[in-house]
Structure 1
Amino acid sequence: MSDQGEMAQRHDASDPEGPDAGHAPPTRGRMWRHLGPGIVVAATGVGAGDLVATLIAGSRFGYALLWAAVVGCIVKIALSEGSARYHLATGSTILAGWRSLGRWTSWYFGVYVIIWGFIYGATAMSATALPLTALFPGLSLRAWAIIAGLFGFAFVWFNKYETFETVMKLLVGTMFVIMVGLAILVAPSLPDIAGGMTFTLPEGSLFYTLGLIGGVGGTITTAAYGYWTQAKGWRGTPWLPMMRVDNSIAYIVTGIFVIAMLIVGAELLHSAGIALQDSDQGLLGLSGVLEERFGATIATLFLIGFAATSVSSLLGVWQGMSLFFSDWWYQLKGREEGGHEGSNAYRFYLAWLTFPPMFLLFADRPFLLVIIYGAFGALFMPFLAITLLMLNNSERLPAEARNGVVSNITLAGSAILFIVLAVQQVASLVG
């Protein structure tokens, strides 16, 4: 293991912070009391863009792509579980593992996370502002976007993980109850839903299907799961069963949520021949459809669920990616302090996500920056899947923590999927 990896291992193993730090892993009957990091990563990964993608899948193809949403959740379970397993088994972090594969991985991640943060910051603030503007039209979209960014900045700056997790659970509960309630309200046909699990590919749906599998439920944030398990206080391989239950339950909830959105798209939009706009603005169009069919109360509830989805994604990125960045920065410097909540690097990235992206709210996003962002983003998920195959089959992990047959097959399949998506994304950018 590299010197930086050993440094990270010493630092993390001695870190006493976290609500579960110092406690023995719970028995199976008490695991539900300790659920949290998985809910955080799942809530972070499902944002306004995922709502749009799933609703459009339902509006264009009915239930035919239901299986793709389910497969996407299975893929994300494998990726986030593999990342967290490396953290728990080595006492180190996934970034330390990447550095052991070569210093180029650190530079790749550093360039990516700076560009990604600049553009995603503006995207997250705008997405959060959409339902708030519809609910409270007294302020402009830009004003609500700035307020959303400042709220995320202040909340993450002044609160530790335990408070952050509690708020995320409340937001997940709100969005889950409202969106699943909408799916029940539109009275889906059970035979049609069952037909959506037949792995069919309607004409013109291939790359849309791949995008649905690859995008719904998070991208880079799946790799942040390990940092949240450490912030929770989970240390060592005895916590692996707890982590796996936590991760699986979280993505089962995500799967139900995504299926609910696809049902709403299929029942309200596909059956009526309504085309939803291919952007976050399209969600406001669905609000109009709901108001016309079910009344203003249901439309308002949808906007509240939309807002909870967007806010949870914003808070999750503001907190989780700041942890990720701080670990990268202090490993790059070879220093033992930092890499945790409240460190200087943590607060720098928190500010980077909030303030520079506000300039994008006042002007069109620079074309070249969007091109670079798209290319790096397309290449990150294959990078994550392939490196997890390399790291979690290595001898630096205890035998009981290494990949099994199912993990290797799932990660290898994920790598192939994301390589195809990367080729498609880069080709469309060049085009």
Structure 2
Amino acid sequence: MKNWFKELGPGILVSAAFIGPGTVTVCTLAGVDFGFSLLWALLLSVIACMILQEMAARVGIITQSGLSDVIRTEIKNPLFRHLSIGLIFSAIVVGNAAYEAGNISGAVLGISAVIPSYTFNTGMLSLNLWSLIIGIIAFIILAIGNYKVLEKIFIGLVVVMSISFLITAAMTRPELGALFKGMFIPTKGAAGILTVMALIGTTVVPYNLFLHASLVSEKWKNRSFLKTAQKELFWSISLGGIVSIAIVVTAAASGVVNVATAADLAAGLEPLFGKYATWFLALGLFAAGISSAITAPLAAAYVVSGCMGWGKTLTSRRFKSVWAAVILVGMIFSSLGFKPIEIIKFAQVANGILLPVIAMFLLWIVNRKSVMGSSVNSLRVNVLGIIIIGVTIFLGAKSIFGVLQSL
């Protein structure tokens, strides 16, 4: 058991990354609006996440490089290479900078559910103190530049999230028959396709594919650790999926209505289940926000390093400058009071649309014998990967068509 805990790390960081304020928000709204009826979509998303993240982990261990670095070196046509790197750069880095405001704001929502927030005025600006504090905490943790320290911090945050959300779900005493029906019998009910897309986008996060490939190459230095990485990934992603399901269950079984954020849900739980329910949910939201506030800038830094050919080191100045810029943007937009909820929901849908593009790059790389050697995809994994890409393309096209029709 002691040796098993030593192997925890990259998968736990991926779980911490996808259980952020976006996940909490989308799962809360799915539960409040549609009950248990979309749990099947969440379950399939978790399975898809495992399949794609395993491919990314395999690329990282075999090549000992990040995914963006491998893509840059493997695309030989200069024009296509520049276009591809430009797409990845803009989608991940700019997207993560926008995400960071939502991550920090999510942590603030968690604190504000139990401790009133404080704002102070500086001339024309009104700044939220909690946003600044959380941004500074994220900055200090990343500035340490020690991967083993990062692992320990994230294992702690995931434990806090897991316990908090699972206890809260248990306190709502959900009807198990309806829960299992929603999980294993696919129905869309009254839910729009955008809600299903958001659930996929909040679970299978494109930037996590880049983050995971880089993290496994930091931790494991040869292919003999491949089975270890796969086992660690399976249990870590499974735990993340259980936590996401617990959030939907809490929202669906609580009976609380008129909810816009998880903080609203936390406030609504108190008269029904007591103040401890509010505290547990608020603590989970805070842990989710601060964990994602660290992983989003970290992923952006890995992507930029790979795109620019800088190499990867947590202590290099260029690497630090990228994650510092992402945190700074997040702190500014969060502290200025921009409402993150609609941005978060839109970002999850955008993630779902971006996912098939990134997944196609990944599938191409992991089938190249010149890169992967004997560790290329099996036929079964390729079929599953193609199905995932096909489903996400179909859902993405349908969601875009729906938006265009509404204009």
Q: Same fold (TM over 0.5)?
A: yes
| Residue aligning to 2:362 | 388
Unpaired runs of 5+ residues, structure 1, are 1-27
Determine which of 181, 199, 216 is the counterpart of 2:167. Answer: 181
Q: Is 2:279 the counterpart of 1:305?
A: no
Q: Is 2:302 the counterpart of 1:323?
A: yes
Relative distance call for 1:363 and 1:169 in structure 2 (3 A) is closer
Alignment deviations for residues 55-99 of structure 1 (CA, whole Å, 9 cap, x no partner): 222222222211111111111111211111112122333113312
| Residue aligning to 2:215 | 228
| Residue aligning to 1:69 | 42
In the alignment, the residues of structure 2 paired with residue 73 and residue 373 of structure 1 have an alpha-carbon distance, to the nearest angstrom, of 18
- The aligned amino acid for 1:230 is S
Q: Is 2:403 the counterpart of 1:420?
A: no
Contact 2:201–2:348 under 8 Å retained in 1:
no
Contact 2:97–2:297 under 8 Å retained in 1:
no
| Residue aligning to 1:342 | 315
- Match runs of 1:9-408 below 5 Å: 30-99=3-72, 100-101=74-75, 102-103=80-81, 104-137=83-116, 139-140=118-119, 142-196=128-182, 197-216=184-203, 218-232=205-219, 234-269=220-255, 274-277=257-260, 282-329=261-308, 331=309, 338-361=311-334, 362=336, 377=351, 379-408=353-382
Identity of aligned residues (%): 21
| Superposition deviation, residue 252 in structure 1 | 0.7
Relative distance call for 1:134 and 1:231 in structure 2 (3 A) is same
Alignment deviations for residues 149-177 of structure 1 (CA, whole Å, 9 cap, x no partner): 12111220124111111011111101101
| Superposition deviation, residue 237 in structure 1 | 2.0
- The aligned amino acid for 1:170 is G
In the alignment, the residues of structure 2 paired with residue 231 and residue 90 of structure 1 have an alpha-carbon distance, to the nearest angstrom, of 11
| Superposition deviation, residue 241 in structure 1 | 0.4
TM-score (norm 2): 0.86
Relative distance call for 1:134 and 1:121 in structure 2 (3 A) is same
| Superposition deviation, residue 41 in structure 1 | 0.7
In the alignment, the residues of structure 1 paired with residue 49 and residue 314 of structure 2 have an alpha-carbon distance, to the nearest angstrom, of 25
SS of 1:355's equivalent in the other structure is helix
Q: Is 2:360 the counterpart of 1:410?
A: no
What RMSD over aligned residues (CA atoms) do the two structures have, in Å? 2.7
| Superposition deviation, residue 421 in structure 1 | 4.2
Contact 1:115–1:373 under 8 Å retained in 2:
no
How many residues are matched? 386
| Superposition deviation, residue 375 in structure 1 | 9.6
In the alignment, the residues of structure 2 paired with residue 406 and residue 275 of structure 1 have an alpha-carbon distance, to the nearest angstrom, of 44
Relative distance call for 1:135 and 1:259 in structure 2 (3 A) is same
Unpaired runs of 5+ residues, structure 2, are 120-126
TM-score (norm 1): 0.82
Q: Which moved more, 1:42-51 or 1:379-388?
A: 379-388
In the alignment, the residues of structure 2 paired with residue 357 and residue 263 of structure 1 have an alpha-carbon distance, to the nearest angstrom, of 30
| Superposition deviation, residue 217 in structure 1 | 5.1
Contact 1:76–1:222 under 8 Å retained in 2:
no
In the alignment, the residues of structure 1 paired with residue 319 and residue 347 of structure 2 have an alpha-carbon distance, to the nearest angstrom, of 22
